[in-house]
Amino acid sequence: MASAIELIVEGYVSLRDQAALDELRTQRRTLVADLNACTGIDCTSTIQQIEKDIIVIEAGLAHLVGAAKT
């Protein structure tokens, strides 16, 4: 079963909405930076999940760029 982020990215890819994917990736990167700055709580698993989301988003962006070249 596909994760929520995979379905969201799939939707944006089908719409060819690179700006939305870029914004989603930027938001996730900001969230990771904010969580890394936290002290006193362990956010490791949350950060790992968000980094997996970023990988999915970047794969969607790569698919868009590849499709645009053909």
Please state the pTM of the whole predicted model. Answer: 0.90
Does residue 66 register a pLDDT over 80?
yes
Does residue 70 register a pLDDT over 70?
no
Q: Which amino acid is at 9?
A: V
Give the model confidence (pLDDT) of 2-38 as tens digits.
899 999 999 999 999 999 999 999 999 999 999 999 8
Long-range contact set of residues 37-41: C-beta below 8 Å, sequence gap at least 24: none
Q: How many residues does the structure list for the chain?
A: 70
The rounded distance, in Å, linking the Cα atoms of 69 and 66 is: 5
- Short-list 17, 20, 5, CA closest to 53: 5
